[in-house]
Structure formats: structure tokens, C-alpha cells
């Protein structure tokens, strides 16, 4: 997909452009910056570094503990249904399944527009383009299907297959496939849903085989990790092979390092 609107200010309304619950959305303040300047510098010699292996629960911990820039914790969880009481029960079920409250971007002007109304945090935007290019060099055409989502849009996604009046059983069953608003990693602007052109199930596509080989080495190289890995335990939804989260190469390399280790990369 051609990044037609790269760095351009958002003038039209898109599905993801809605006012988040916390903080105003001001599209006119989106900074116009050439794509070439999105890239964060990678650690020296990254191509020759061996990436550590992670279990599913370590991948989850890595995203939760990574110190990602431009995030602001949410002070209140957004409504799900019309009933505050039922919402409380759905949230309790969600937490029981392992969903966690997720932050929103602190400053929306620092987000970057990829294409078709898909926005990501700046380092994730650059890392997505790098991953997509690397995959293309290996013969796989990756598509970006979802990126940043605000609370209102996540609520729509969550309720889409259901009909009002909502039943608790149906809402609880929905948690197998979707986070309720306030609990999606997409809120952070650091999560992507991807697919391979021409393949309906990403988990059985040749591109998935490439990206997941050797404990997801080809994702890690660009700072990405699986969002809901196959052996992730209680992590919210059933495993989602198509979703990846950006944590950055340094966080991946330094996860197992003690805080006062001698590796200069990991000591600051
Ligand atoms: Zn997703």
C-alpha cells in the first residue's frame, strides 16, 4: 500500500479520528514531518546481535514494562454498554481473562498517519514501514489492517457482532475475540494488526512462517513482538497471530539484563 498521506495533516475524518475520553484530539496540530525523519536510531551493529528467546508470558511482560514514549494512563474506563452495572461485570470478566487497562497517546500531534486513516506512534510507524519493506524483500506483501484505536472505536469493534439489549453471557463470550474499550493494546498506538496479501488467515500464511521463525526473530529485528502469543497464558483474548506490538529493539535486547549490568546498551 502506498503511504499517500505520510506526514500530512489530517483534514478528513477517519474511523479512528475521534475524541479520546482523556485529552482532546486536535488533527490540525499533527506535525508535518518527512518520513525519512521518523526513524529512531537503532543500536550499532543490530544486524549481528543475537536476540533473546522469550516465552509467551515474557512477551506480554515485555510490552507491559517497556518504557514507551508519549503515553498517558487513563484515569477512568470508558463505558461499554448503557448499564454501568453490567459494564462492571464485563470488566471483572476481562481482568479475570488477563486484559489490562491500556494508556492512550499523550500528545496526538506526535502520531504519524500511515495510510487510509491508520495512525501509529512515531517509532512504531517507522518500524512498521521497515518490517513491511523487509517482508517485501523476502517476497511477502504485508498489509496493515488496524493500528491506533480510540475508546469509541474500540467500543464499536467490541459490540459489533452483538445486538442491544446486551446479555452478560454474550458480552463475556465476546472477550475471547476482542478487548472492551480501555483494555486494547491498540489504544496505545503501538499495536498493529497485519495480514499477508491474498491470505485470509495470517496464522497459516507463508509470511507468518517467516515472521514467527526462531521465536519471532524477523519481528524482533524491527522492534516488534507478538501481542497475544500462542503460549501467552491468561492474556485476554485467545492467541491472535496477526497482532504485533512495538517495544523497540533495545527493550528486546535488554529484557533479561539486570538493571546494573555492564552492557552499555542496557545501562541507561
Ligand atoms: Zn488487534
Distance separating alpha carbons of residues 213 and 218, to the nearest angstrom: 7
Query: Are the CB atoms for 241 and 52 separated by under 8 Å?
Result: no
pLDDT in tens, 26-82: 344 456 677 777 776 666 777 777 899 999 999 999 999 999 999 998 888 889 999
| Domains in the chain: boundaries | 48-104+122-266
What pLDDT sits at residue 12? 32
Cell numbers that stand for 130 in this block: 521497515
Query: Are the CB atoms for 183 and 98 separated by under 8 Å?
Result: no
What pLDDT sits at residue 267? 67
199: CA distance to ligand 1 center in Å? Answer: 17
Distance separating alpha carbons of residues 213 and 51, to the nearest angstrom: 12
Q: Helices then strands (H, E): number in the chain?
A: 7, 8
39: CA distance to ligand 1 center in Å? Answer: 23
The reported pTM is 0.86
CATH number of the structural domain 48-104+122-266: 3.30.1380.10
Average pLDDT of the chain, as a whole number: 85
72: CA distance to ligand 1 center in Å? Answer: 20
261: CA distance to ligand 1 center in Å? Answer: 35
What pLDDT sits at residue 31? 61
Which residues have beta carbons under 5 A from ligand 1 (an ion)?
A: 193, 243
Distance separating alpha carbons of residues 236 and 199, to the nearest angstrom: 25
Cell numbers that stand for 207 in this block: 509470511
Judge whether residue 84 has pLDDT over 50. Answer: yes
CA torsion sign for 189, 191, 196, 202 is negative
Amino acid at each position: 500500500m502506498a503511504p499517500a498521506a505520510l506526514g500530512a495533516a489530517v483534514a478528513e475524518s477517519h474511523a479512528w479520528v475521534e475524541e479520546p475520553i482523556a485529552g482532546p484530539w486536535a488533527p490540525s496540530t499533527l506535525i508535518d514531518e518527512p518520513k525519512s525523519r521518523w526513524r529512531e536510531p537503532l543500536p550499532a551493529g543490530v544486524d549481528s546481535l543475537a536476540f533473546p528467546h522469550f516465552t509467551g508470558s515474557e512477551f506480554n511482560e515485555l510490552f507491559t514494562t517497556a518504557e514507551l514514549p508519549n503515553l498517558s494512563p487513563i484515569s477512568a474506563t470508558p463505558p461499554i454498554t448503557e448499564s454501568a452495572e453490567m459494564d462492571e461485570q464485563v470488566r471483572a470478566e476481562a481482568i479475570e481473562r488477563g486484559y489490562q487497562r491500556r494508556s492512550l497517546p499523550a500528545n496526538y500531534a506526535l502520531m504519524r498517519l500511515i495510510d487510509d486513516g491508520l495512525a501509529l506512534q512515531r517509532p512504531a510507524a517507522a518500524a512498521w514501514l521497515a518490517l513491511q519493506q523487509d517482508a517485501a524483500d523476502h517476497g511477502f506483501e504485508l498489509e496493515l489492517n488496524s493500528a491506533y484505536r480510540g475508546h469509541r472505536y474500540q467500543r464499536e469493534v467490541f459490540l459489533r457482532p452483538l445486538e442491544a439489549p446486551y446479555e452478560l453471557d454474550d458480552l463475556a463470550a465476546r472477550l475471547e475475540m476482542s478487548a472492551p474499550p480501555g483494555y486494547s493494546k491498540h489504544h496505545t498506538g503501538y499495536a498493529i494488526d497485519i495480514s499477508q496479501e491474498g491470505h485470509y488467515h495470517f496464522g497459516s500464511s507463508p509470511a507468518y512462517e517467516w515472521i514467527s521463525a526462531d521465536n519471532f526473530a524477523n519481528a524482533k529485528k524491527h522492534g516488534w513482538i507478538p501481542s497475544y502469543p500462542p503460549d501467552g497464558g491468561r492474556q485476554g483474548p485467545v492467541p491472535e497471530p496477526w497482532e504485533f506490538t512495538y517495544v523497540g529493539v533495545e527493550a528486546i535486547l535488554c529484557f533479561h539484563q539486570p538493571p546494573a549490568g555492564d552492557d552499555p546498551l542496557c545501562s541507561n
